[in-house]
Amino acid sequence: MTPTIGVLALQGDVREHLTALDAAGATAVAVRRPAELAAVDGIVLPGGESTTIDKLLRIFELFEPLRAALGAGLPAYGSCAGMILLADRITGGTSDQQTLGGLDITVRRNAFGRQVDSFETDLVVEGIADSHETPVHAVFIRAPWVEEVGPGVRVLARVESGQAAGRIVAVRERDVLATSFHPEISGDLRLHRLFVQIVTERG
């Protein structure tokens, strides 16, 4: 089965995720309306500006349908801003910012600093078997990190060196995956392949 995976197409790295998902073996479609959301087997929430995406979800009347779909078990992958949107709890957000939920984590928004503090590093990611030999090259842009995880959440990756050493930057809970970094930018398809596998196994 070739799964149909949507990319929330309101703001952010939409085109890059669509390209990566197609290359990873999925049928990738843009999602801007509730009817389009209802037709997908999984959803990707892209990097971008989490507060802007939050507002656009309400304008496009997608916030409640997407939250309901996640609550019903729709597989999801969020990168950077997408991680923030999937978190049950957020620190450092704006006073009116809400999240969709789905991951029992606390995320700190812009934890790594401003745009000028963006950086790249190599990571070993649990669930990607060859990442010990060939690490995942991770691009962090105004990225969040995970401060707390619930008992059902698996930590998949931590920053290995520097001032942020030990910080959690990739997690999974059931069929929901999230990373602080942007694999859609680096050209490494392994995380997208992992998500396609998650969606396919879900059926």
What six digits make up the tokens of 6? Answer: 């949507």
Q: How far apart are CA 42 and CA 54, in angstroms?
A: 19
**61 included as an active-site residue:** no
The alpha helices in 105-189, defined as continuous H runs, are: 183-186
Q: Which of 16, 173, 184, 192 is catalytic?
A: 184
CA distances from 29 to 3, 19, 32, 50, 53 (A): 11, 10, 10, 21, 18
DSSP code, position 164 = T
Q: Is 80 a catalytic residue?
A: yes
The question of whether 147 is a catalytic residue gets the answer: no
Could you give the CA distance from residue 103 to residue 197 in angstroms, rounded to a whole number?
19
Active-site pick, 16, 17, 173, 182: 182
Can you tell me the distance from the alpha carbon of 155 to that of 168, in angstroms, rounded to the nearest whole number? 7
Judged by DSSP in three states, 179 sits in strand
Q: Among candidates 153, 140, 117, 160, which has minimal Cα distance to 47? A: 140
Beta carbons within 10 angstroms of residue 78's beta carbon: 28
Catalytic residue among 16, 17, 80, 192: 80
Three-class SS state of 83: helix
Question: Please, are residues 36 and 8 in contact by the beta-carbon 8 Å criterion?
Answer: no
Query: Which residues are tagged catalytic?
Result: 80, 182, 184
